[in-house]
Amino acid sequence: MIRYKQILTCKFIGGKKKEPIGKILDVVYSDDYRRITHLVVRNDNLIKNKIIIPLEEIVFLKEDHILYLKDEKDLNKVLEGGLVEDFNFLEKEIRTEDEECIGYVKDILINKTDGSIEGFIITEGIFEDILRGRNYIPFFKNILILEDCICIPNYIANIINKINN
């Protein structure tokens, strides 16, 4: 597992030279938002400096290194645009079916092998974080990703409340 915020701080290195070849700017999600399909990387090219790399072409090495498997010359051939949209889980409100806010997404956990999103680390506010720490919600199949929030079934909210009390 790796956190979304960790991915953004990883060094993106090339396979042959093992040197940094760009900075990871963001990720691209699948249509149902249940997995990551691509990384958005900024390289040093002046004209086309954002490239979109399929997850299948990278390997997570150590906690802070991501390896690009193909030849670095292929980076110039990677298609640009078309996949990136402004979707972000961070700070998205989490609500129950009854419209009760139970917190906000602070980070997401991602499976390194297939890019699937395993769950959310949530915050209820700075004072709650200090007193009780942050909570974790697994990304169950019946959790809905809506435009303005993440909607969880009431029974999952009840389980979370029991764990926290």
Residue 115: predicted pLDDT: 94
In this prediction, residue 12 has a pLDDT band, given cuts at 50, 70 and 90, of: confident
43 assigned to some structural domain: yes
Write down which residue in 50, 77, 104 finishes a domain: 77
Are residue 57 and residue 99 in the same domain, yes or no?
A: no
Q: Phi and psi (nearest 5°) for 76?
A: -70, -20
Q: How many domains does the chain have?
A: 2
User: Comparing 162 with 60, which gets the higher pLDDT?
Assistant: 60
Residues 11 and 57 in one domain: yes
User: Does 159 lie in the same domain as 101?
Assistant: yes
**Residue pLDDT, tens place only, 13-54:** 887 777 788 889 899 999 889 999 998 888 766 456 778 888
We report the CATH number of the domain holding residue 45 as 2.30.30.240
Q: How many CA atoms lie within 13 A of 102 on its CB side?
A: 26
The enclosing H or E element of 130 equals helix 126-132
Predicted local confidence at residue 74, as pLDDT: 62
- Is position 82 within any domain? no
pLDDT the model gives residue 126: 63
pLDDT tens-digit profile of 66-88?
887 776 666 655 544 445 566 78
* Residue 155 counted as domain residue: yes
Is 34 domain-assigned? yes
Give yes or no for residue 151 having a pLDDT over 90: yes
Tens digits of residue pLDDT in 102-143: 889 999 999 999 999 999 988 876 656 556 666 888 898 999
The answer to whether 66 and 56 are in contact (CB under 8 A) is no
Is residue 120 located within the same domain as residue 158?
A: yes
Name the pTM for this structure: 0.81
pLDDT at position 140 is 87
Give the tens place of pLDDT for each residue, 50-67: 788 889 988 888 767 888
Looking at the structure, tell me whether residues 17 and 59 fall in a common domain: yes
Q: Which domain holds residue 22?
A: 2-77
Tell me the β-bridge partners of 145: 150
Q: Answer yes or no: is 52 within a domain.
A: yes
Q: Within a domain: residue 147? A: yes
Residue 157 tokens read as 């909210």
Question: Would you state the torsion angle of the CA atoms of residues 25, 29, 34, 35, taken in this order, to the nearest 10 degrees?
Answer: -70
Which of 77, 103, 128 represents a domain boundary (last residue)? 77
pLDDT at 158: 78
